[in-house]
Amino acid sequence: MYVMQKQGRFVIPRTELTYPAHTIKMNEKAAQAPTDHVMPDFEDACPYEFKGEKSRGTLVEALNTIDFGKKVIAIRPNNIKSKYFLGDVQAIMLGAPDKFHGIILPKTETPEDIVHLSRLLDALEEQGGWTTHVQIEALIETPLAIVNAYKIATASTRMAGLIFGIADFSASMGVREMIDNQNRNFHYAKQATAVAAKAAGLHVIDNAFLRLIRPDTPDEEKAVIQQQLREKSEGSRDLGMDGTWVIHPQQAEICNAVFTPDAEQIAKTKRSLEVYHKLGGGSIADPETGEFYDEATTKAMLMDLAKAVQAGTLEESWLRDMAAKSKAVSGYDILEVMGRVA
């Protein structure tokens, strides 16, 4: 969860747009994208010729001059073993204080990687005169990272979330098919990442879908790609993911919709919770629909409606009241435990 200190709100991203950071034009386009989060990238998306000062100077200019609105901005430097890592982090921390919200650490493999970055941020926040607290998302994209995922998730109070990176993980494992059957081929790795994040009270983000619609893509093929993106996102949502990376704004509408309950779902879930508490809780059957409710199923409803609150389609006070009723009996507020409220 990103705590937007100056805006007085929190964000659990549904969509994180990753894009090359080395041109002003790409930053301007990202600022207009309908996503919750943008990730200017110094690492894999940045051409070799722009590594170092060229891309750093461009991004610092972009952060200081472009209005990104209410988006979370989290920057991916080169990985911690790269000769560019330290310079990347120093440049943005000292060149754009309070202009972004997080660092996405690629190739994270051990909790010591997070500790190292966190201590570096401690020093650079003080040196740069920051008044806000930079958070961290860790990319889980190697077998060792999967094994260490919970330790990574709990390595610093700066931790906001984990992200599953499919391309590097696929290469490490020698898995050739990482698009069409990814929720089957990477079921364990994705859910292990999700479990580790949720155990630490963090959000968790799925990998990007690597098939895009081109200007010359036939309508029939376009429809197939859109359906594949929807199915991939629905599958990862049902593995516990809170959102997904996107590699183009064209993917945002479908992905935002998948990770947000619609008006019909909200109305149905609200009614179910109200009926449950009206009938006294416990283990009951809905007198109108025959559906079964108990404390476990209603906690799932609270988690789903937390996404509606963040999307601005449900009053937070209503959700907190329902969570308080559950906590009064069980002593357990799932929204607090799972990091769904600030």
Whole-model pTM: value is: 0.91
pLDDT in tens, 142-188: 999 999 999 999 999 999 999 999 999 999 999 988 899 999 999 99
pLDDT digits (tens, 9 = 90+) for 72-118: 999 999 999 999 999 999 999 999 999 999 999 999 999 999 999 99
C-alpha to C-alpha distances, 38 to 33, 102, 153, nearest whole angstrom = 9, 10, 21
Rounded to 5 degrees, φ, ψ at 39 are -130, 90
DSSP string, 5-25: TTTTEEE--SEEEEEE-S-HH
User: What contacts 105, CB < 8 A, 6 or more positions away?
Assistant: 76, 77, 79, 80, 113, 114, 117, 136, 137, 138, 139
Contacts by 174-179, CB closer than 8 A, 24 or more apart: 178/210, 179/209, 179/210, 179/211, 179/228
Second-level CATH architecture of 2-258? Alpha-Beta Barrel (3.20)
Average pLDDT of every residue of the chain: 94
The answer to whether the CB of 145 falls within 8 A of the CB of 109 is yes
- Domain segments of the chain: what residues? 2-258, 263-337
d(CA 329, CA 331): 6
pLDDT band for position 120 (cuts 50, 70, 90) = very high
Q: What value does the mean pLDDT take over residues 17-43?
A: 96
